[in-house]
Amino acid sequence: PKRHEVRQFEVETDLVGPVDASYTNQDNSKIVATDTQKNTIFLLSQKLNFERSSREDFAILIARHFVRKYPDAVHACTVKIAETVWERVQVAGAAHHHAFTKKGTFVGHAFVKAEGSRGNVTSVESGVNGLTVLKTTKSSFEKFVRDEYTVLPEVSDRLLATSIDARWHYPAPGVGAVTTNFAGASEAVVRTIIQTFAGPPNTGVDSPSLQHTAFEIGRAVIRAVPAVQDISLNCPNIHNIPVDFSPFPGQKNQDATGNPDVFWATKEPFGIIKVTVARDNRRRSRI
């Protein structure tokens, strides 16, 4: 039998229209009720097919529906979708017919805005939240500003970890047909983020700072995924601090190479590194 497929979306709609009278004159004639919005989304989901069923495609479908269906009541519609991604279970090397496991540490999202009775899509944004990555070497942090307030030591080799929130924009289709392969492009973006952070499998890549790594990730995405117009990265620095063994006589926090091997992951305080890399008209990356 045909294999089952799963898509899990959490949808938020924001309708803009001439509803002032509902606040001031007890006139609800221009309100599209929450119940109507909920039921519409359930019914529209049946129009998806598994060749074109990305969160971006669904958001465009919803946004266009509301501005076209209610031109007098809805002048603009924005749609936000958070996607929980499910991956097919593998059993004895074979893909399971109907069993899935949650994929990755992150949640995907889409944000679409449509305006006017023709369903003019003016913005298509995609992204992921909580893409958590770590590497245990090839990271340093040196030659930063030092003064009487600084106690942070310079390190030539450290653990580097972050939980990346990334947002990127695709060309808006306007009133025309949607031609972008959103699912394929989003998969390529996530793959490029992870691979650029990690570097080659046997050697890795040097990271002199999280700032530099974030920029290199953004630049790699712009180069690798032509549909992406710009990408913004929000990267909190998750510190992993070597545990001080000095209070314990005869104990050292060292592995066979002399480096620390016991760490504690701190939650606060931490820095948040932010960067935006965009494609310009000359097809170069800029920041």
DSSP codes, 91-128: ETTEEEEEEEEE-SS-EEEEEEEEETTTTEEEEEEEEE
Task: Tell me: pLDDT of 257 over 90.
Answer: no
Give the residue with greater pLDDT, 13 vs 284. 13
* CA distances to 10, 26, 88, 96, 108 from 5, in Å: 17, 46, 9, 11, 17
Joined together, the tokens standing for residue 270 give: 């931490």
- Can you name the residues that pair with 11 across neighbouring β-strands? 81
pLDDT of 286: 47
121, two tokens? 């899509």
Q: What is the pLDDT of residue 49?
A: 81
**How many other C-beta atoms are found inside a 10 Å radius of the C-beta of residue 202?**
5
Please say whether the beta carbons of 127 and 80 come within 8 A: no
Between the CA atoms of 114, 115, 117 and 121, what dihedral angle is there, to the nearest 10 degrees? Answer: -40
CB atoms within 10 A of CB 9: 19
Residue 43: what pLDDT?
A: 94
pLDDT attached to residue 72: 96
> Can you name the residues that pair with 113 across neighbouring β-strands?
78, 123
* pLDDT for the residue 245: 93
**Higher per-residue pLDDT: 40 or 142:** 40
What pLDDT, on the 0 to 100 scale, is given for residue 53? 84
pLDDT at 270: 87
Between the CA of residue 201 and those of 53, 196, 223, what are the distances in Å?
33, 11, 21
pLDDT of residue 282: 54
In the prediction, which pLDDT does 287 show? 45
Work out the pLDDT band at 155, boundaries 50, 70, 90: confident
Of 135 and 105, more confident: 135
Residue 177, classed as helix, strand or coil, is coil
Using an 8 Å Cβ cutoff, are 124 and 112 in contact?
Answer: yes
Q: How many C-alpha atoms does 3 have within 13 Å on its Cβ side?
A: 13
Residue 147: both structure tokens together: 């003064």
Confidence of residue 276 (pLDDT cuts 50, 70, 90): very high
Q: Which residue, chain included where needed, has tokens 């952070």? A: 197
pLDDT for res 209: 94
pLDDT at res. 230: 97
% pLDDT > 70, the chain: 97
- Indicate the pLDDT class of residue 247, thresholds 50, 70 and 90: very high
Helix (H) or strand (E) holding 241: strand 240-242
Q: Region 157-164: what's the mean pLDDT?
A: 90
So what's the pLDDT on residue 281?
56
Q: What is the pLDDT of residues 75-108, one digit of tens each?
A: 999 999 999 988 899 999 899 999 999 888 789 9
The pair of structure tokens assigned to 75 is 């002048």
